[in-house]
């Protein structure tokens, strides 16, 4: 019979991981069209069959997941009296249920997940899960292999503990003229180009201003920061800053697997 596996359907609807869902089935907590559900591989038609878990209807509509290309200038919050927030960028019904999973600084751009699934958000942010976050960063100054070594060892950034090891990859070192005469004067460097380095950095924690503070710890400054990925989820290259789209089933399943 065609259709979707019951365990996959339940996991995608946010009822738990595939193994948690198996337990729910074993305990008889799931019904399909009023009858106790059978095996995890039982096939169902999500459009027609009525699935209940712990007495509550399960539908893929229950939880919603969006990837937003956060532009600079928006707070990663649901509301604020003074500044625009990322939720302002969404045109969705029942928008008030949605919230950003974690925070990007107001001047940071890139991948931000918005959802109403508190369980998934909690797991993605849990320090125990070590979900990788990769950023593109433009750094003032020349980033060296020595810096990469220091990132790999973990850095003192003024917290109780050092940061966990981070992966730093140098993409490009280049010179750029100062943006304006004022800027040049301010730094008494008229006529001299500045050196910048483009890097990719992967961290598995989410401490406040973490990437910026890690570069400060090696004497350098982040001048642009953009998140490229979170776990297996990558920012869609077809999105422009301020645009968003729903996650695909495969993206959602990938994220859940990251957490297993």
Binding site for ligand URA (CB under 6 A): 104-105, 108, 209-212, 225
Query: How near is the Cβ of 105 to ligand URA at its closest, in Å?
Result: 4
Q: How far is the CB of 148 from ligand URA (least distance, A)?
A: 17
In whole angstroms, the minimum distance from the beta carbon of 104 to ligand URA comes to 4
* H or E element at residue 150: helix 145-153
Q: How far apart are the first and last CA of the chain?
A: 29
Work out whether strand 221-230 and strand 233-234 pair parallel, antiparallel, or are unpaired. antiparallel
Q: Which residues of 59-73 are buried (b: 16+ CB within 10 A; e: fewer)?
A: eeeebbbbbbbbbee
> Which of 105, 194, 198, 236 does the annotation list as catalytic?
105
Residue 75: CB atoms within 10 Å: 20
Cβ distance to ligand URA smaller for residue 104 or 148: 104
Give least dist CB 255 to ligand URA, A.
19
80 counts as catalytic:
no
User: Least distance in Å: CB of 28 to ligand URA?
Assistant: 44
Beta-strand runs (E) in the chain: 4-5, 30-32, 35-36, 43-44, 51-53, 56-57, 65-70, 99-100, 109-115, 133-140, 167-176, 194-203, 221-230, 233-234, 244-246
Nearer to ligand URA, 32 or 87 (CB): 87
Q: Which is nearer to ligand URA, 52 or 224 (CB)?
A: 224
Nearer to ligand URA, 32 or 104 (CB): 104
9 vs 69 by CB, closer to ligand URA = 69
Joined tokens for residue 144: 């060296």
Active site residues: 105
């Amino acid at each position: 019979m065609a259709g979707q596996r019951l365990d996959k359907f339940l996991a995608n609807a946010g009822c738990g991981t595939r193994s948690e869902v198996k337990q729910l089935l074993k305990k008889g907590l799931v019904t399909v069209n009023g009858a106790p559900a059978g095996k995890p591989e039982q096939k169902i038609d999500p459009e027609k069959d009525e699935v209940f878990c712990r007495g509550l209807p399960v539908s893929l509509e229950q939880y919603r997941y969006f990837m937003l290309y956060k532009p600079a200038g928006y707070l990663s919050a649901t509301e604020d009296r003074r500044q625009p927030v990322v939720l302002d960028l969404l045109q969705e019904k029942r928008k008030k249920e949605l919230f950003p999973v974690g925070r990007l600084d107001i001047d940071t751009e890139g991948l931000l997940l918005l959802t109403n699934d508190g369980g998934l958000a909690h797991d993605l942010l849990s320090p125990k899960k070590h979900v990788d976050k990769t950023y593109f960063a433009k750094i003032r100054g020349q980033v060296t292999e020595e810096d990469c070594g220091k990132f790999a060892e973990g850095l003192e950034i003024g917290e109780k503990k050092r940061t966990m090891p981070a992966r730093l990859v140098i993409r490009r070192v280049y010179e750029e003229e100062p943006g304006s005469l004022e800027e040049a004067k301010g730094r008494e460097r008229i006529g001299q180009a500045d050196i910048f380095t483009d890097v990719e950095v992967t961290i598995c924690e989410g401490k406040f201003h973490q990437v910026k503070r890690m570069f400060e710890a090696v004497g350098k400054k982040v001048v642009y920061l953009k998140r490229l990925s979170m776990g297996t989820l990558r920012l869609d290259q077809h999105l422009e800053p301020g645009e968003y789209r729903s996650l695909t089933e495969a993206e959602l399943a990938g994220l859940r697997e990251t957490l297993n």
